[in-house]
């Protein structure tokens, strides 16, 4: 029942990877500046939440991702970003999945499977860049190749996406010049499969604090809502019992990328500035959700700021 957790965590990487701005992409850097980011992330899938939120502690798996990204400010308002993760996946549960879920070789081997995932390119345009910042963006996600998407130990959903987003941030100088708040709303238009709508809304809200001259921290709330998708159903006596809307051979084959994944997650991150680079770490944990994975993600990374044409 693998679905869009990688999308949520990808958002977290993007926010933490922009270590040069503790509040994310609401504030755009000056023209001619940018950063190169490398991060390592571990995602532990500890079970599945079905349609009524019931936890089934089966199908545990782990993903380890190597993330490489670059962003560059073309002008004081325009910035471009590009990224490509390389993902490793492994099925950990000593038991097979429920009888109605095929136990595919990618999981049954309980071995590491790895592949590049999706190219991601984003263009940001800053509208306001003062104490208050406002930056819309548009991004495209394209699978790097025809990788496997069925099973738990896979690297992604292999679906094309077009995302429209807006970031906003506000420095809280009246309270403290060390505090700021920021948020993002994004709407993703996702490639249809079996003519089933699967678009998605994501929103994040963060509070950042400059703890010391070189150390900043951030608390993060991340929310996801899928507009469409398939419901997996719930245990009896629910009106929609398992396997829910995964009720045909075609839907069963595609369910790993078509579930109605709704979730709320909570996390925190910290960034430390060294003379020539920045180091960051983050933790994100499941709070509640339906038709989704329960689990947690830990990310550590480094970011090298650079300037061109100076």
pLDDT tens-digit series, residues 78-137: 999 999 999 999 999 999 998 889 999 999 999 999 999 999 999 999 999 999 999 999
Q: Which residues of 215-241 are buried (b: 16+ CB within 10 A; e: fewer)?
A: ebbbebebbbebeebbbbbbeeeeeee
d(CA 281, CA 285): 14
By the 8 A CB rule, do 51 and 234 touch?
yes
Structural domain including 238 reads 5-307
More confident of the two residues 14 and 107: 107
Q: What CATH code is carried by the domain that includes residue 208?
A: 2.40.128.130
Counted domains in the chain: 1
Q: What is the DSSP string of 143-210?
A: ESS----SSSS-S-----EEEEEEEEEEE-TTT-TTEEEEEEEEEEEE--BTTB-EEEEEEEEEEEEE
What pLDDT, on a 0 to 100 scale, did the predictor assign at position 137? 97
Mean pLDDT of 141-145: 97
What pLDDT, on a 0 to 100 scale, did the predictor assign at position 73? 95
| φ and ψ of 104, to 5 deg | -80, 155
By the 8 A CB rule, do 268 and 221 touch?
no
| Predicted confidence band of residue 16 (pLDDT cuts 50, 70, 90) | very low
Non-local (6+) Cβ contacts of 294 within 8 A are 45, 46, 47, 48, 49, 55, 286
| Predicted confidence band of residue 310 (pLDDT cuts 50, 70, 90) | low
């Amino acid at each position: 029942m693998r679905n869009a957790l990688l999308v949520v965590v990808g958002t977290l990487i993007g926010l933490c990877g922009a270590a040069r701005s503790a509040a994310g992409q609401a504030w755009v850097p000056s023209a001619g500046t940018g950063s190169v980011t490398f991060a390592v992330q571990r995602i532990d899938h500890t079970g599945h939440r079905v349609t009524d939120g019931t936890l089934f502690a089966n199908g545990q798996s782990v993903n380890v991702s190597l993330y490489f990204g670059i962003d560059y400010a073309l002008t004081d308002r325009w910035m471009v970003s590009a990224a490509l993760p390389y993902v490793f996946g492994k099925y950990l549960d000593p038991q097979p999945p429920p009888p109605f879920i095929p136990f595919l070789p990618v999981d049954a081997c309980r071995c590491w499977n790895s592949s590049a995932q999706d190219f991601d390119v984003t263009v940001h345009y800053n509208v306001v860049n003062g104490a208050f910042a406002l930056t819309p963006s548009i991004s495209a996600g394209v699978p790097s190749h025809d990788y496997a998407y069925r099973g738990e130990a896979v690297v992604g959903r292999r679906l094309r996406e077009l995302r429209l987003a807006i970031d906003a941030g506000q420095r809280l100088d009246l309270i403290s010049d060390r505090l700021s708040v920021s948020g993002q709303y994004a709407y993703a238009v996702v490639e249809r499969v079996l003519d089933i709508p699967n678009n998605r809304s994501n929103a994040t809200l963060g509070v950042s604090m400059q703890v010391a001259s070189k150390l900043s921290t951030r608390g993060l709330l991340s929310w996801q809502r899928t507009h469409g998708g398939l419901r997996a159903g719930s245990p009896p006596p629910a009106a929609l019992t398992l396997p829910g809307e995964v009720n045909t051979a075609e839907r069963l084959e595609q369910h790993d990328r078509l579930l109605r994944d709704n979730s709320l997650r909570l996390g925190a991150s910290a960034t430390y500035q060294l003379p020539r680079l920045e180091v960051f770490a983050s933790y994100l944990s499941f709070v509640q959700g339906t038709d989704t994975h329960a689990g947690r993600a830990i990310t550590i990374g480094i970011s090298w700021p650079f300037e061109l044409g100076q």
